[in-house]
Amino acid sequence: MMNPELQALIELHEAENVLRAAEALLARCPVDRAAIQARLDQERARLDAARAATEVSNKARRKLEAEIQDLETKRTKYKSQQGEVKTNKEYQALLHEIENVEREIRGREDKALEEMEAGEAHAADVKREEAHFRATEAQYKAEFADVDAREKAARQQVEVARAGRETALVGVPEAPLAQYQRIAKLRGGVAMAEAKDGCCQACRVKMRPQQMLDLKKNEQVTQCPSCQRMLYFVPEPPTVDHGP
């Protein structure tokens, strides 16, 4: 028959294992949510980059168009002065200025056309990225909803597990409980370990044959000689003879 104190400690150990598992599930939810948000932000960044590229091209085109307008005004002014010049030298100089202005106009018109074509290409990119973002955003919303549902379920599991731990805690006598808590503080919250296959399953240290024989009786609280955790043995389930 199992030692009652050992039985109570095992029940507390198992209750705390359940609580740790539930808390791990709950802790995972913000991590998963952040990972989804990071992927969504990447998708949004692609769309923002396409929009920004379109705006850069449009802004450059508008600037060129304004410069073209200023140059055309200058050309008109020069042409209006052609009838006012008095010497051939002045007339040739004015023609030279008009040619220079027209050359600059053509150069800017070519660049404006390039920017217009680039803007159209960027606009097509924006439409494509917008469609892609709408499709992926719906997927991410579903993923967020899944995390929210898992988080809600995990919170409930934690509450139930905490209640289970409190119930198990009441059943442990004061002295073994103090020892249990002392070991747990030193061993990352885990004060017990199963003895199986001739060794402690926490630190993997081999037990002496006589130690294993004593442990299999579960008659007293025994500590691992290496990690100092409390050890317990889980008997093999009885085989059922189904007959011939």
The pLDDT score that the predictor gives to residue 173 is 93
The pLDDT score that the predictor gives to residue 205 is 93
Please give the share of the chain, as a percent, with pLDDT higher than 90. Answer: 59
Least trusted range by pLDDT, from 22-36, 120-134, 191-205:
120-134
Cα gap 50→56, rounded to integer Å:
10
**157 vs 95, which has greater pLDDT?**
157
Q: What is the pLDDT of residues 145-181, one digit of tens each?
A: 999 999 999 999 999 999 999 999 999 999 999 999 9
Cα gap 121→227, rounded to integer Å:
67
CATH number for domain 4-170, candidates 2.90.10.10, 1.10.10.10, 1.10.287.1490, 3.30.1360.120: 1.10.287.1490
Q: What's the pTM?
A: 0.70
Of the candidates 243, 240, 234, the residue with the CA atom closest to the CA atom of residue 216: 234
The pLDDT score that the predictor gives to residue 94 is 86
**pLDDT band at 240, cuts 50/70/90?**
low
**pLDDT band at 243, cuts 50/70/90?**
low
Q: What is the pLDDT of residues 100-145, one digit of tens each?
A: 999 999 998 999 898 888 888 988 988 998 898 888 888 999 999 9
The pLDDT score that the predictor gives to residue 122 is 87
Where in the chain are the domains?
A: 4-170, 174-232
List beta partners, residue 194. 232
Given a contact cutoff of 8 angstroms between Cβ atoms, the answer to whether 231 and 195 are in contact is yes
* C-alpha triplet 118, 120, 125: angle, nearest 5°: 95
Alpha helices in the chain (DSSP H): 4-80, 88-170, 174-186, 209-217
The pLDDT score that the predictor gives to residue 241 is 55
Of the candidates 54, 71, 46, the residue with the CA atom closest to the CA atom of residue 115: 54
218 φψ region: left (φ > 0), alpha (ψ -120 to 50), beta (else): left
**pLDDT band at 88, cuts 50/70/90?**
confident
- CA–CA distances in Å: residue 51 to residues 104, 155, 181, 213: 30, 41, 59, 74
